[in-house]
Structure formats: C-alpha cells, structure tokens
Amino acid sequence: MEQTQYDTIIIGGGHNGLATAGYLAKEGLKVLVLERLDRVGGAVVSEELTPGFTVPYCSYVLHILQGRVIDDLELREHGLDIIPFVSFRLDPFPDGRYILTHREHHKNAEELRKFSEHDARAYPDWANFWERASGLLHRYWFREPPTLAQVSEDIRGTSDEEVWETMLTVSMRDLIDRHFQDPTVKAHFIDAQDAGDPSAPGSILSLAYLRVNQFTKPENYGIPRGGMSQLAFAMARSAEARGVEVRLNVRVDKVIVEDGEAKGVRLSNGEEIRSFMVVSNADPKRTYGSLVDPSDLDEATSKKVKGLTTRANCVKLLAALKERPDFSRYLGPGYDPRLGAYFRICPSVDYYQQSWDDAKNGLPSSCPVMNVQIPSIYDSSLAPPGHHVLSAWTLYAPTHLKEGSWETEGPRVGEQLIDLLSEYLPNFRESIIDWTLQTPQDIETREFMTDGSIRHIDITSRQIFTGRMPYRSPINRLYLCGSGTHPGGEITGVPGHNAARAILKDLEKVAV
C-alpha cells in the first residue's frame, strides 16, 4: 500500500464503524476512527435524562447482535455484560387481558388458548413459517448480498420456495387472517416494521428481518449492564487493544478524492488526514449527499441514492419515574416485575393500520403503536433506588409534518403518549419526574441519521440484499460499513464485519 499516515480512516464511531475497525486492525492495518461526538457509539447510547436517570436515547436492546461478532471481537473480555430477558414481550389490552410472549413455542400456544382454541392449534404452523422466513434472510447475512432473483433461484424446487413467494406477495394482514380468528390475537401479531402498511404485499419480509432474533442465543438477548453505551465502549476497547486509534470531537467535512480515488479526509477545521482508504459509517444519503462531491459519483449511484426511502420513522418517549409502573391489573399482585419490562400497546389490527395511514399523510399518529421498555427493572444501576426509567419507540411518525412542525407538535404528542400509557398503567403519569420526546428531527440532529431513520434506510423488499447500498462505492478506495448496507439496521455488527471482509478481499488483489 502507499505510504500514508493511516491505512484506513473510518468516519463515525458507531457500532458498525467500530466493528470494521476491529476486524481490519486484527489483520494488521493501521486504523483511525474519527467521531464527531465526545463519545463513541452513535445511536448505541445511554445518557442521563435527568441527574441519576440513564436512558437509551436510541437503540434500546440487544436482540440480533451476532454471536460471531461478539466472539470475534472478544466483547465480553472487554467489558460487555448482557443481562438476558426472562420473557420477550407483554401485550396488555384495554379489557384487562394480556398475551405474554416466551421463547418456548408451547408456552406461546398456551397464551393464545386463553383467547381461542383454534388460534392455539394454529400457532405451531405460524411459528414454523417465521422460522423458515427469517432463516431465509439470515442465511445470507454473512455473505455478499444476493438479488431477489438469485434467492429465488437458490431455493427453486425446495420447500422454501412457497415461503419466499409468500414473503414477497402476501401482506401481513392477510397472513394473520389465514392463521388466526380472534381479533385480540390478530392485534398481538400485527406488525409491518419498515414496510409500514400491514395491508401491503411485502410487509412480511420487513418483519422477517427482525424475527432473525429467534436464532439469538438466550445469553445474547437482553440489555448491556450499565446501559446501551457499554456495548460501544466494549467495542472501542476491543478495537484499541488491536491498535486502533479513536479520536473524539472530530467532525469530517469531506472525503478527499483525487483522480477518482479516496485519499483521506478533510476536517471541519481545515486539517487534512491522508490514508490509503476511507470507510464511511454514516448513512448513504449523508455519505453521498455531503461527504463526497456529487461530480465524483456515477449517474447510477446518484439515482439510487435519490430513490432510497426513509419513511418508516418513529418518535421516542423517554421518562424518569419515581416508582415502577403498575401491571397488577394484568399480572395480579406479587407478579415478577421482569414480565412487564418490555411491552407493546396495539389494541387492534385497524389501530396499527391507522398509525401508518396517519404518518403516510404527514400527521402525528392518532393511534400510536408503542414498544415500551423499562430497562431499570433488569438493571438497577440506571436509576436511583426504587426509581425507574422508561423508553418507548412509537410507530409511526412522518419526518416532516403536513401542518406545523415537530418543534411545536412534539410536546402535544408527548402528552398524548403519557395519557395513553396511563390508560394501561394507572400510576404512570403521577410517577413521572421528567420526560422528553425525541422526534425524527431530534434523532437526525442528535444521531446524524438522515430523516431520523434508525436503520439508515428502510428495510423493505425494495431495499434488502442488493437493494441496499454496496460496501464498495463508485469511488475507488471509499467504502460504506453502516446500516444502509447489507444486511441492514439494528445492532447486528454484520455490516461492519462484511465491509471489513470486502476491504480485505480487495487488498489481497492489490497485493497480487
């Protein structure tokens, strides 16, 4: 390689950037990570909401962080301590009934039997479908992304062919209707994630991506002790132990491109740092829209970037509480508090549909679907004794409102969410010490993710596999390693792993 100050500069100290750094340094490369904030982690961050109360401002759970990445980077040896969950999710309903999701399929079937004998009998077939659907996606995670046509060819003539066709052509709403009869059971299962519209064909595929968590070992499914930032800190320590240099409070202004090749970066203060290659952990829109000159991009890349969608966005309510939310209406007196540590509010299929329809039309959701976590039930270090913290990702939210702005509407939406939670948890409003609402604009400003898109770009049938951005950019020696690449968003570590592998493969060609 050329004589440069560094072999690789990585823009952004998010978890995938740190993973890429660790893998490259393991092979002897001199790596510099540049992070604009005063901490590593990007969206993997826990900070104080108010003194003594630490909340997960963005990412809030480890459920598909891959065991291979944990082991390769020796994250547990560098301080990662995951507190595993005893159950997955509680769904309370307005009539006082509930469904509790477990890892064991027979327990889930018994939960459904409280509502419908038919639905309990149908559950094994439902569970089998999702194991096969998510398995179809997961098998490609640590490989170069295929096209949808290549997947179809790979499975032609196998039992997975029908599953794949269903994922692409059937809606979540229709799939649920095929399996279940009870409306409450249907409400429990309705979910379209980044597809947004549960009535749209292809919405199954978006959920199948997240259902990969069924392959996560129990000891890796939970929250890091001490807050989400502890994962990032462990990744940084792992990278630094391999010789990676991490600089904080450094903002990259541009990637230096000369003769069609990335040669380093220019900082906001004018300083230039030279390297043999550059890797961006920023989202694709930010990377290609501001870090490089449009004239350095080919027409196909520019067109693809412009067409990327970031519509399935959220707001996030964060609260400091003086006491634990009360689930005794559902779970009875003396219940295990851990059973209520993660719950979802979605009383009907139509309710979910309306949440998407509102956001699609530029409106705050009149039917907010709330995915709520109380991490302090598992980790008492996050709040003072007897106190708690709550975080709630809430679907869906338009990036830009049709009328007004998030600056003015945010407080009203926050109060709406507090009122909704109080309908299920009678002590909730009175227990609040402080709260904030993170809108899509807040998330973009704070985490530097375009449109506040927490997965960089939506995970949909059009933006999966080769529909995401390639690790290799059209600019020689410039790479991408963030969630906008294959396989996608969430805390997996796989984009970082795969980007490093692509880089090392290219370096072998250079050496030859």
Assign residue 236 the CATH number of its domain: 3.50.50.60
Residue 422 lies in a domain: no
Secondary structure of 126-187 as H, E, C letters: HHHHHHHHHHHHHCCCCCCCCCHHHHHHHHCCCCHHHHHHHHHHCCHHHHHHHHCCCHHHHH
**Total tally of structural domains belonging to the chain:** 2
> End of a domain among 183, 200, 218?
218
Residue 110 lies in a domain: yes
Residue 137 sits in the same domain as residue 228: no
Residue 207 sits in the same domain as residue 129: yes
Specify the DSSP element, H or E, that contains 319: strand 313-321
Residue 350 lies in a domain: no
pLDDT of residue 512: 47
Residue 77 lies in a domain: no
Are the C-beta atoms of residues 472 and 479 closer than 8 Å to each other? yes
Residue 130 sits in the same domain as residue 181: yes
**Residue type (1 letter), 9:** I
Residue 438 lies in a domain: no
Residue 137 sits in the same domain as residue 226: no
Specify the DSSP element, H or E, that contains 478: strand 478-480
Beta strands in 329-475 (DSSP E): 342-345, 369-373, 388-397, 432-438
Residue 291 sits in the same domain as residue 274: yes
Beta strands in 164-286 (DSSP E): 222-224, 245-247, 252-258, 261-267, 272-280
CA distance 20 to 499: 7
CA distance 217 to 170: 30
Q: 434: which strand partners?
A: 320
> End of a domain among 186, 203, 218?
218
Distances (CA, A) of 355 to 133, 206, 221: 25, 17, 28
Q: Which ranges of the chain have pLDDT less than 70?
A: 1-3, 511-512
- The position carrying tokens 């963030």 is 482
CA distance 142 to 68: 10
- Domain holding 482, by residue range, is 6-42+222-309+458-511
Residue 211 sits in the same domain as residue 228: no
Residue 198 sits in the same domain as residue 251: no
Residue 254 sits in the same domain as residue 196: no
> End of a domain among 169, 197, 218?
218
pLDDT of residue 1: 54
Residue 408 lies in a domain: no
Residue 238 lies in a domain: yes
CA distance 499 to 495: 6
Task: Give 209's contacts (C-beta < 8 A, 6+ positions apart).
Answer: 134, 137, 193, 459, 464, 487, 488
What tens digit of pLDDT does each residue of 115-127 get? 999 999 999 999 9
- 263 three-state secondary structure: strand
Nearest to residue 232, comparing CAs of 65, 51, 27? 65
Are the C-beta atoms of residues 215 and 134 closer than 8 Å to each other? yes
Six token digits for residue 408? 């003015």
Residue 133 sits in the same domain as residue 196: yes
Question: In the sheet that 342-345 helps form, which strands lie side by side, from edge to edge?
Answer: 98-101, 89-92, 342-345, 369-373, 388-397, 313-321, 432-438
pTM of the model: 0.96
Specify the DSSP element, H or E, that contains 499: helix 494-511
pLDDT of residue 509: 77
Residue 205 sits in the same domain as residue 231: no
CA angle at residue 39 from 35 to 42, to 5 degrees?
65
Cα 313 to chain center, whole Å? 11
Residue 440 lies in a domain: no
CA distance 44 to 65: 12
Report the 10 Å Cβ neighbour count for 71: 11
Residue 117 sits in the same domain as residue 184: yes
Are the C-beta atoms of residues 342 and 86 closer than 8 Å to each other? no
- The position carrying tokens 């507090």 is 418
Residue 176 sits in the same domain as residue 234: no
pLDDT of residue 402: 95
Q: 11: which strand partners?
A: 34, 280
| Neighbouring C-alpha atoms within 13 Å toward the C-beta of 31 | 31
